[in-house]
Amino acid sequence: MTKLFIALQYVLPQHLLSRLVGFLARTEWSILKNFLIEQFIRSFKVNMTECDRTEPTEFQHFNDFFTRSLKDGARVIPEDATVCFSPVDGAISQIGTTENGRVVQAKGQDYALADLLADDELAARLQGGAFTTLYLSPKDYHRIHMPFDGTLTKMIHVPGALFSVNTATADAVPGLFARNERVVCVFDTEHGEVAMVLVGAMIVASISTAWHGEVTPVRGIQRWDYKDPTPVRLKRGDELGRFALGSTVVMCTEPGKLEWDDERDSGDDVRLGMPLGRWS
């Protein structure tokens, strides 16, 4: 079944399917949207007790439910600013350092950092630095938060495929995260440059950032430069963005700036605020 699932992704109209799902996810017809939300909660065992709205009828549409906010205190951000914490709820797909300009995707699979970032100069500056790939499953909280204080310097939207980003697909599809649609957010921090890459996936209806809103796909690569007099500054714990249906975040740093905790490994479940390592 896994091989069939992978094979189908190569032939299915990925973007058409995602647009159709996006249409359903935005419908405000109460009968349909309540049914979709109820079935999703039941199928994926979503923990609604930690959400600030707990009933399907309280959400405007499915996307409103999917990008739901949490109750105050549901996640705790470490007070120690030297702690690098998980920016999302999810699981660690990979964690380590980039080597020879390559990022590990899965056992026996890697891809070029420059391809992921769509910026050769940025990739050169981040080569040899720490990286982690965090997978958000359907049941997870789908907002991404800042694990550091940072000033946004640029954002790059890279159009691409929409393969699933689950473990089976990551194991089988070469260069998965560097070929899927993605939004690269680059921050200037006290720890040097840090790139936060929001990767789209099959039936991901949209990727949004806190400062831009929904990033609308076009045919080519889009680039935005953020400079004074109105810089975008975000604090640790601030919301960075959100996925309307599923996906993955890849974080990349400059070399020598971040050391991962020894006990963190591929496959570990994480929650927003959980310590992953320390900034040097």
User: What is the pLDDT confidence band of residue 20, given thresholds at 50, 70 and 90?
Assistant: low
The yes-or-no verdict on residue 165 having pLDDT over 90 is no
Give the pLDDT band of residue 24 (cuts 50, 70, 90). confident
> pLDDT band at 8, cuts 50/70/90?
low
Asked if residue 107 has pLDDT above 90, the reply is no
pLDDT, tens digit, 9 for 90 and up, residues 108-153: 889 999 999 999 999 999 999 999 999 999 899 999 999 999 999 9
pLDDT at 217: 78
The residue that leads in pLDDT, 5 or 270, is: 270
More confident: 4 or 149: 149
pLDDT in tens, 177-224: 899 899 999 999 999 999 999 998 766 557 899 999 999 777 889 999
- Quote the percentage of the chain above a pLDDT of 90: 70
Round to whole Å and give the CA distance between 144 and 154: 17
Q: Which of 5-9, 36-40, 127-131, 142-146 has the lowest mean pLDDT?
A: 5-9
- pLDDT value at residue 56: 93
Answer yes or no: are the C-beta atoms of 135 and 266 closer than 8 Å: no
pLDDT in tens, 52-96: 999 999 999 998 999 999 999 999 999 999 999 999 999 999 999
Residue 170 in this model has a pLDDT that exceeds 90: no
Is the model more confident about 107 or about 141?
Answer: 141
Tokens representing 58 are 């309280």
Instruction: Determine the Cα–Cα distance for residues 80 and 157; give it in Å rounded to an integer.
Output: 32
What integer best gives the mean pLDDT of the chain? 89
Q: Which residue has the higher pLDDT, 13 or 222?
A: 222
Token pair recorded at residue 26: 């935005």
How deeply is 24 buried, as exposed, middle or buried, from its count of CB atoms within 10 A (0-12, 13-18, 19+)? Answer: middle
Strands of the 143-145 sheet, one edge to the other:
143-145, 239-244, 206-209, 213-214
Q: What is the pLDDT of residue 206?
A: 79
Entry pTM: 0.90
Residue-level pLDDT at 13: 52
Q: Helix crossing, 14-26 with 30-44: angle to 10°? A: 110
Residues recognised as catalytic? 89, 145, 247
